[in-house]
Amino acid sequence: MKMSRGQLGRRLLGLAVAGVALAAGGAAFAELGQPAPWEVRLQESASPVMDNITWFHNFLFVLITVITLFVLALLVIVVIKFNAKSNPVPSKTTHNTLIEVAWTLIPVLILVSISVPSFRLLFQQLDIPKADLTVKATGKTVVLELRLSR
């Protein structure tokens, strides 16, 4: 059976696509569990304590991102609303009690929400499970003397 040029080209193209897919798939599985550049997440854990550390890391990452975006939004609002062009006569209002209480209480609540899981995680790390296997390695030193005789 003789193949035409088109059939041969399709088969070669199919083999090339399969080879590229296998090479790319193998490269993807080679990085499993290994650190990668620009990776935000932590590696896969092997213990429940590390699962909790990973959860705490992700929680703090989201919290820090939300706080940063909130502060950025406030800065943009202040720059747009209170510039000299759109607000030629500035307000002389001072001592807004509600704002002062809010910017004192909100950071305290944020710190408490961070400290509770943090202390729980520290106490989990103090509990070290008993080892299933203990390896004792004993080394002996050997002293060599070299005597030169004449």
User: pLDDT tens digits, residue range 103-121?
Assistant: 999 999 999 999 999 999 9
Strands (E), the chain: none
The band of 4, judged by pLDDT with boundaries at 50, 70 and 90, is low
92 touches 45 (CB < 8 A)? no
Q: How far is Cα 117 from Cα 54, in angstroms, rounded to an integer?
A: 12
Max CA separation in the chain (angstroms):
105
**Which letter, b or e, does each residue of 43-62 get, where b requires 16 or more Cβ atoms within 10 Å of its Cβ?**
eeeeeeeeebbeeeeeeeee
**Which letter, b or e, does each residue of 84-102 get, where b requires 16 or more Cβ atoms within 10 Å of its Cβ?**
eeeeeeeeeeeeeeeeeee
Q: How far is Cα 77 from Cα 142, in angstroms, rounded to an integer?
A: 76
| Averaged confidence pLDDT in the chain | 84
User: pLDDT tens digits, residue range 26-74?
Assistant: 555 555 667 778 877 788 888 889 999 999 999 999 999 999 999 999 9
Q: What is the pLDDT of residue 150?
A: 64
Residue closest to 67 by CA, chosen among 55, 78, 79, 75: 75
Q: What is the pLDDT of residue 1?
A: 52
Least confident of 20-24, 33-37, 83-87, 117-121: 20-24
Is residue 58 classed as helix, strand or coil in its secondary structure?
Answer: helix
Q: What is the pLDDT of residue 20?
A: 73
Section 70-90 average pLDDT:
90
130/148: higher pLDDT: 130
Q: What is the pLDDT of residue 16?
A: 78
